[in-house]
Amino acid sequence: MSAARPSERGEVLPPVRSADSSARIYPRSAHNISRAQISDNALKVLYRLRKAGFQAYLVGGCVRDLLLGREPKDFDVVTDAHPEQVRGVFRNCRLIGRRFRLAHVHFGQEIIEVATFRALNHEEGEGERVLERDGRILRDNVYGSIEEDAWRRDFTVNALYYDINDFSVVDYVGGMQDHQASVLRLIGDPDRRYREDPVRMLRAVRFAVKLGFTIHPSCAEPIPKLAYLLNSIPPARLYEEVVKLLMSGYAAQTFEQLRHYRLFGALFPETEACLAREPEGFPLTFLAKALERTDDRIQEDKSVAPFFLFAALLWEPVRTQAQERIRSGDNDVFAYQEVAAEVISRQVRYIAIPRTIGQPMREIWALQPRFERIKGVRPYRLLGHPRFRAAYDFLVLRAETGEADPDLADWWTRFQRADDAEQKAMTREGGGRRRSGRARRRRKGGASAGSA
């Protein structure tokens, strides 16, 4: 190992490769990570492992984010201690995972994850590999060296190690230089690494957008032609990834990039087909707006419901298919219910939709045609529906992007604020609805949910 030489101006000069190892060492003076930015509990874990005679490093997203001066989401530790040895060091420690055993060290709310160095290749490294009788891997704890651990990671900037021994950053894969150039680059051959785990294509987009990095051309180029490989990923894993993509605070930009790389169509094929049919139309405006709204809410530390987002993402297929049924004579509320179930049942072949998400999605959709009924007792009933608020927000979003009647959304806004007498007047036959000629023409064109 050899040290990088910080220049007089403080920037990092290319480190010298040493003969015994490919690692480049960036000493404390050559990077900006200070211990003050690291969680006390993570420091405790690092120091305690070291005191027990083991190696201990921070690795992955936290090192990457610290180098950018950002606050990491969590702190991951790697060590040469095996999980059972880690448990021996900490009382507040639980071992989790069957396939990959990990140690979780608990400090109240905060959990520090401690992983043992793992090797990429099963032929290398020591450890146990237990197979079920059918050949499925039950446990796969193949431990390796820190260097092997670095090479099995996804992107170079995710494979930097912060050494608690001397506060240096250890780099086996050229991650520091990529970091300085704001480049996201897969370790090894991009084609092979994407085939090995197609989710890395989604991670490339997520990190590029979140960090403001460029995906290296060699890693960007294969994505559109390999996007279809996402179909081999278990839907439950894709659900987790999609939630991460959309709840990142950069959903609008992420959505654009997913479409650019043809990944969106591999995740939401029916929605993509609608967007492709109307490249500049309101389906796109509606989705862009829904995602921008989500980003704003995250920025303001407000809660965001994944069911609202998924309802927005699948709205266009639901709406167009329901409209078709209504045109052929089906009752509107019934049409929306039926189509909702069908669209969801086809979507879950790609991305799992947990029941807790699927139910409120269906409710939001099913309530849309009911907003059309503003006479008599029906508006009162709708107002009392547990999903009213989300469905109303959805209607407003539709109205803002020109797909639903803005006067109708306005009617509901006023209805909620009105006192008893005003509400009564509003719900009287023909009462209270202001309709512009423009809106009437739009509605005639079949633009709103219940009109057909």
First to last CA, the chain: 72
Q: Which stretch binds ligand ATP (CB under 6 A): 39-47, 162-170, 192-200, 425-433?
A: 192-200
Q: Tell me the number of residues near ligand ATP by CB under 6 A.
A: 11
Q: Give yes or no for residue 158 binding ligand ATP (CB under 6 A).
A: yes
Residue nearest to ligand ATP (CB): 61
Rounded Cα–Cα distance for residues 130 and 141 (Å): 9
Please give the helix or strand (H or E) that residue 363 lies within, else none: helix 355-367
Closest CA to 76 of 109, 102, 98, 108: 102
Q: Give yes or no for residue 73 binding ligand ATP (CB under 6 A).
A: yes
Closer to ligand ATP by Cβ: residue 66 or 159 = 159
Rounded Cα–Cα distance for residues 213 and 367 (Å): 41
Q: Can you tell me which of 84, 166, 189, 197 binds ligand ATP, judged by CB under 6 A?
A: 197
Q: Which stretch binds ligand ATP (CB under 6 A): 104-112, 152-160, 166-174, 295-303?
A: 152-160
> Quick one: DSSP state of residue 74?
-
The 10 Å Cβ neighbour count of residue 365 is 24
Spot the catalytic one: 80, 149, 154, 163: 154
Q: Give yes or no for residue 61 binding ligand ATP (CB under 6 A).
A: yes
> Quick one: DSSP state of residue 371?
G
Q: Which stretch binds Mg ion (CB under 5 A): 58-66, 87-95, 279-287, 353-361?
A: 58-66
> Quick one: DSSP state of residue 70?
P
Q: Can you tell me which of 153, 370, 398, 443 binds ligand ATP, judged by CB under 6 A?
A: 153
Rounded Cα–Cα distance for residues 60 and 155 (Å): 9
The distance of closest approach from Cβ of residue 172 to ligand ATP in the complex, given in angstroms and rounded to an integer, is 12
Per the listing, tokens 């987009």 go with 205
Q: Give yes or no for residue 178 binding ligand ATP (CB under 6 A).
A: no
> Buried (b) or exposed (e) across 401-430, using 16+ Cβ within 10 A?
bebbbbbbbebbeebeeeeeeebeebbeee
Closer to Mg ion by Cβ: residue 61 or 198 = 61
Q: Is 171 noted as a catalytic residue in this protein?
A: no
Q: Give yes or no for residue 154 binding ligand ATP (CB under 6 A).
A: yes
Q: Is 419 noted as a catalytic residue in this protein?
A: no
Contacts with ligand ATP, residue ranges (CB under 6 A): 60-61, 73, 76, 153-154, 158-159, 197, 199-200
| Residues annotated as part of the active site | 74, 76, 154
- Residues binding Mg ion (CB under 5 A): 61
